[in-house]
């Protein structure tokens, strides 16, 4: 599964399941819409760090990086490239 | 996961215990009665580098890992009966950790040496009169005015607040954004215009700890005093809570160990119906329960600290540890009073103070109810 799909699937099943939304577009706002709240962000980060073996810290911990599936995927892609030394 | 401690860590714990017994020997009953902060003891702890242990040496710190710092806090909780002092120390360290994680290099150079030396006292201000558990619904506003921010609002129950030289304040910078993007974090220093530190609040326990209301009335904040980026406050808060909930319980475990030892001693000495009260199962069961809580508490506490040292997240572990250990501390102290009978109810035996102190642990750093909520959300509920 692509990074984007993995992230989307986590959000749909873990953070959105109750809300019964059928789909989530890559650019849909996650924070401003309240899909990701202060608990959701911790759950999401735990998932990302474990799934992709990365660490998100310091300057990267800004809401902008989690604004949409697109932005989260970009962060993960950049971090996994770094950890692979690409 | 390997929880065994190195010889150095074991020696350090022993050293801290010896130090606390010999050097933190002030008349605690008197300080407790007067609600006075033991400044001299604070200075002694600073000299021993307890305030700066986890920070890099270039900032005056000891460069040790988080588990070692937690072990030092545990030793203090065990050997220093003043839980107020121990909590003040923990708050200073936690403020330093926020600065280490989110401060600019300039801010680290400016503040961390003072965190480590204890020359300045630090506090963190989140809670407000109308928002505690729902912390991110805070109303304090930091408004950009072209030159910097103007801070308006009131903070409540702030540990070290009445005596703080530097306060890390959380405030709303963009009310249109949801909490995660609308809150920011800034440094306010004693003497800033419009910053008022009110008198300490009288409390049932932790009386030497100074908690108070902080008022900001058009308090000007220079742009360089923003910690992290604008809008990062919600995420800084989350991170900080995880460290805090991984850290404070270490002290509580120390207290539980001391209270257990005191209670075992008493149960062996005190005779009733011709035998030691420890021979009665309703007493010995209480002691066995205390031991179980202590040992299980250690597992989750050292696990959370180890995860943090590995650079991993411990959101769930820190919530479980915070909830479990704080409730266990309260129950352990209550059981200890019961085991001591009438003597346990007297101030002379000092157990009643531990009980009074213990209650706060289930309130600060997120109440027990909030921890249940977090754990339940983790379970997908
Ligand atoms: C000794 C001490 C030191 C402190 N130090 C600091 C500090 O340094 N900095 C700082 O910012 N704050 C500090 N605080 C404040 C502390 O964090 C708050 O008191 C705490 O978060 C609870 O908020 P509250 O008092 O407003 O209670 P409320 O939030 O009003 O809660 C009242 C009751 O309702 C329950 N409740 C609320 N919401 C829910 C919910 N969603 N589900 C279930 N139950 C709920 C609570 O668990 C509690 O039992 C300190 C408090 C104490 C006692």
Residues A2-57: pLDDT tens digits? 899 999 999 998 888 766 667 889 999 999 888 898 889 999 999 999 999 999 98
- Give the pLDDT confidence score for residue B19 in this predicted structure: 98
Q: Identify whether residues B267 and B369 lie together within a single domain.
A: yes
Q: Identify whether residues B221 and B295 lie together within a single domain.
A: no
- Give the pLDDT confidence score for residue B90 in this predicted structure: 98
- Give the pLDDT confidence score for residue B206 in this predicted structure: 98
DSSP character string of B74-96 = HHHHHH---HHHHHHHHHHHHHH
Quote the longest CA-to-CA distance of chain B: 80
Handedness of CA B318, B321, B324, B326 (dihedral sign): negative
Prediction pTM value: 0.96
Mark whether B244 is an active-site residue: yes
Residue B27 to residue B131: CA distance in whole angstroms = 36
Query: Does B1 reside within a domain?
Result: no
Q: Identify whether residues B371 and B239 lie together within a single domain.
A: yes
CATH code at position B275: 1.20.140.10
Q: Name the β-bridge partners of B169.
A: B125, B186
B310 touches chain A (CB under 8 A): no
Q: Identify whether residues B153 and B209 lie together within a single domain.
A: yes
Residue B338 to residue B310: CA distance in whole angstroms = 41
- Give the pLDDT confidence score for residue A82 in this predicted structure: 67
Please say if the pLDDT value at position B94 is more than 70: yes
Residue B61 to residue B85: CA distance in whole angstroms = 20
Q: Identify whether residues B243 and B344 lie together within a single domain.
A: yes
For B98-120, the pLDDT digits (tens) are 999 999 999 999 999 999 999 99
- Give the pLDDT confidence score for residue A20 in this predicted structure: 66
Helical (H) or strand (E) element with A4: helix A3-10
The range of the structural domain enclosing residue B143 comes to: 123-231
Q: Identify whether residues B86 and B179 lie together within a single domain.
A: no
Residue B273 to residue B251: CA distance in whole angstroms = 37
Query: Could you tell me the distance, in angstroms and rounded to a whole number, from the CA of residue B367 to the centre of ligand 1?
Result: 6
User: Any residues with CB less than 8 A from the CB of A78 and at least 6 apart, and which?
Assistant: none
Beta strand pairing call for B211-221 and B149-159: antiparallel
User: Any residues with CB less than 8 A from the CB of B7 and at least 6 apart, and which?
Assistant: none
CATH code at position A13: 1.10.1200.10
Of B245, B143, B236, the closest CA to residue B194 belongs to: B143
Interface of B with A in 96-155 (CB under 8 A): 101-102, 136
Tokens 């809150």 correspond to what residue? Answer: B183
Helix axes A69-84, A3-10, angle to 10 degrees: 130
Nearest to A61 among B239, B377, B378 (CB): B239
CA atoms in the 13 A half-sphere facing the CB of B133: 10
The residue-averaged pLDDT of B221-228 equals: 97
B14 in ligand 1 pocket by Cβ < 6 Å?
A: no
The residue-averaged pLDDT of B148-175 equals: 98
Q: Identify whether residues B243 and B168 lie together within a single domain.
A: no
Number of folded domains in chain A?
A: 1
The residue-averaged pLDDT of B38-45 equals: 98
Read off the pLDDT band of A86 (50, 70, 90).
Answer: very low
Residue B42 tokens, joined: 């604070």
Q: Identify whether residues B248 and B199 lie together within a single domain.
A: no
The residue-averaged pLDDT of B301-317 equals: 96
B360 in ligand 1 pocket by Cβ < 6 Å?
A: yes
Question: What is the ipTM score, two decimals?
Answer: 0.90
For B250-308, the pLDDT digits (tens) are 999 999 999 999 999 999 999 999 999 999 999 999 999 999 999 999 999 999 999 99
The range of the structural domain enclosing residue A12 comes to: 3-84
Question: How far from chain centre, in Å, is Cα A44?
Answer: 6
Distance separating the N- and C-terminal Cα atoms of chain B: 28
From B128, B230, B239, B244, the catalytic residue? B244
Number of folded domains in chain B?
A: 3
Residue B316 to residue B301: CA distance in whole angstroms = 12
Q: CA separation (Å) from B292 to B125, B248, B332, B335? A: 35, 19, 11, 13
B132 in ligand 1 pocket by Cβ < 6 Å?
A: yes
Please say if the pLDDT value at position B222 is more than 70: yes
Q: Identify whether residues B316 and B347 lie together within a single domain.
A: yes
């Amino acid at each position: 599964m692509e990074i984007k799909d993995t992230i989307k699937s986590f959000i749909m099943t873990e953070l959105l399941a109750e809300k019964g939304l059928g789909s989530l577009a890559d650019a849909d706002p996650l924070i401003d819409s309240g899909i990701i709240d202060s608990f959701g962000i911790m759950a999401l980060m735990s998932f990302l760090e474990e799934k992709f073996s990365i660490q998100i810290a310091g300057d990267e911990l800004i809401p902008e990086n989690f604004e949409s599936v697109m932005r989260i995927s970009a962060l993960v892609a950049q971090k996994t490239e770094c950890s692979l030394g690409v | 996961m390997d929880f065994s401690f190195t010889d150095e860590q074991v020696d350090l714990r022993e050293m801290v215990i010896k130090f606390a017994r010999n050097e933190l020997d002030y008349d605690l009953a008197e300080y407790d009665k007067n609600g006075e902060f033991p400044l001299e003891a604070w200075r002694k702890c600073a000299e021993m580098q307890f305030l700066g242990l986890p920070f890099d040496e270039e900032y005056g710190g000891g460069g040790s890992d988080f588990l070692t710092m937690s072990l030092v806090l545990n030793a203090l909780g065990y050997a220093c009966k003043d839980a107020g002092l121990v909590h003040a120390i923990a708050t200073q360290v936690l403020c330093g950790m926020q600065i280490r994680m989110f401060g600019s290099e300039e801010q680290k150079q400016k503040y961390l040496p003072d965190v480590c030396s204890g020359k300045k006292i630090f506090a963190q201000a989140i809670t407000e009169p109308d928002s505690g558990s729902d912390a991110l619904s805070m109303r304090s506003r930091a408004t950009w005015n072209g030159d910097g921010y103007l801070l308006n609002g009131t903070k409540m129950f702030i540990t070290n607040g009445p005596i703080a030289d530097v306060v890390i304040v959380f405030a709303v910078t963009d009310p249109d954004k949801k909490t995660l993007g609308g809150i920011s974090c800034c440094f306010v220093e004693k003497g800033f215009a419009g910053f008022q530190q009110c008198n300490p609040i009288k409390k049932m326990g932790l009386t030497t700890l100074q908690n108070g209301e902080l008022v900001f009335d058009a308090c000007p904040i220079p742009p360089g005093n923003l910690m992290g980026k604008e809008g990062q406050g919600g995420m800084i808060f989350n991170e900080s809570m995880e460290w805090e909930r991984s850290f404070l319980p270490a002290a509580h475990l120390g207290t539980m160990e001391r209270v257990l030892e005191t209670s075992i001693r008493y149960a062996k000495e005190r005779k009733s119906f011709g035998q030691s009260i420890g021979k009665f199962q309703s007493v010995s069961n209480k002691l066995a329960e205390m031991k179980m809580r202590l040992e299980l508490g250690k597992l989750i506490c050292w696990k959370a600290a180890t995860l943090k040292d590995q650079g991993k997240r411990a959101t769930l572990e820190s919530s479980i540890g915070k909830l479990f250990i704080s409730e266990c501390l309260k129950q352990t102290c209550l059981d200890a009073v019961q085991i001591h009978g009438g003597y346990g109810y007297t101030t002379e035996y000092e157990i009643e103070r531990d009980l009074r102190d213990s209650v706060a642990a289930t309130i600060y750093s997120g109440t027990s109810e909030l921890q249940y909520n977090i754990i339940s959300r983790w379970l997908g509920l």
